[in-house]
Amino acid sequence: MKLDLKKLKLRELNNKLQNIDKKVNKRDFEIINPEGNHAVCAGLKDEMSVTIKGHVGYYCGGMNQNASITIDGNVGTGVGENMMSGKIHVKGNASQSAGATAHGGLLVIEGDASSRCGISMKGIDIVVKGSVGHMSAFMAQSGTLIVCGNAGEALGDSLYETEIYIKGSVKSLGADCIEKKMEKKHIEHLTKLLKKANIKNLKANNFKRYGSARKLYNFDIDNVANY
């Protein structure tokens, strides 16, 4: 089914997708003329496939559950914000805070992501085929951030249990983030996620792994300079 944002108001479009007929088996939608609208496909709850033909603004796919959303263009701030499950595939670039606070699901970005990619992520898997900006995975709690390009300054600042894998260079590590050994279980986990993101030309053992040094879990006066 084709949905035209020149003919439908954004509220009407989202309401239609949020309340699809449970008896209808055909759940393939194509959104045309998005023209940078904000909050397109926010709050989807059901299994469906949505393709957005063009660029979108802030918070596309926010709070997603179960839906598979493909953006055939670039996205603004906060794509997949607070996402719970499902998949979001961005074929272009993403602005800042991609996957912010997201609890689950898979976010794939074909291009680059700006600053704070994965900020406060809580279980989502994020795969960026390009590079990420500064303070990516800031205060990230769980889940996985995979970057096939480079990372900017302060990667993983104040993170908790999120696993970070970077193939390229890292400009600098944030407070309490250190490089860690790549063990067999990490290579297997990374290989699985690369396959899930349809990345076939990269090998897991070419990535470096980063994680928390766990010095900030509890306040310690000896580590006060890191806070």
Give tens-digit pLDDT for 62-91.
999 999 999 999 999 999 999 999 999 999
DSSP 126-163: EEESS-B-TTTTTT--EEEEEESS-B-TTBTTT--S-E
Tens-digit pLDDT profile for residues 13-61:
999 999 988 777 789 999 999 999 999 999 999 999 999 999 999 999 9
Confidence of residue 191 (pLDDT cuts 50, 70, 90): very high
Looking up tokens 């053992």, which residue turns up? Answer: 205
Which tokens sit at 73?
């263009």
Are residues 181 and 205 in contact, defined by beta-carbon separation less than 8 angstroms? no
Q: For residue 117, how many C-alpha atoms fall within 13 Å in the half-sphere facing its CB?
A: 31
Tens-digit pLDDT profile for residues 119-178:
999 999 999 999 999 999 999 999 999 999 999 999 999 999 999 999 999 999 999 999
Could you give the 3-state DSSP secondary structure of residue 13? Answer: helix
Which tokens sit at 183?
């063990």
Who's near 38: CB < 8 A, 6+ residues apart? 10, 56, 57, 58, 59, 60, 76
Looking at residue 218, what is its pLDDT?
66
Mark 139-164 as b/e (b = at least 16 C-beta within 10 Å). Answer: bbeebbbbbbbbbbebbbbbbbebbb
Q: For residue 36, how many C-alpha atoms fall within 13 Å in the half-sphere facing its CB?
A: 1
Which CATH number does the domain housing residue 49 bear?
2.160.20.60
Separation between Cα atoms, residue 86 and residue 41, nearest integer Å: 13
Separation between Cα atoms, residue 155 and residue 119, nearest integer Å: 10
Q: Rounded to 5 degrees, what are φ and ψ at 151? A: -120, 145
What's the number of domains the chain is made of? 1
Are residues 103 and 83 in contact, defined by beta-carbon separation less than 8 angstroms? yes
Domain housing 86 = 2-226
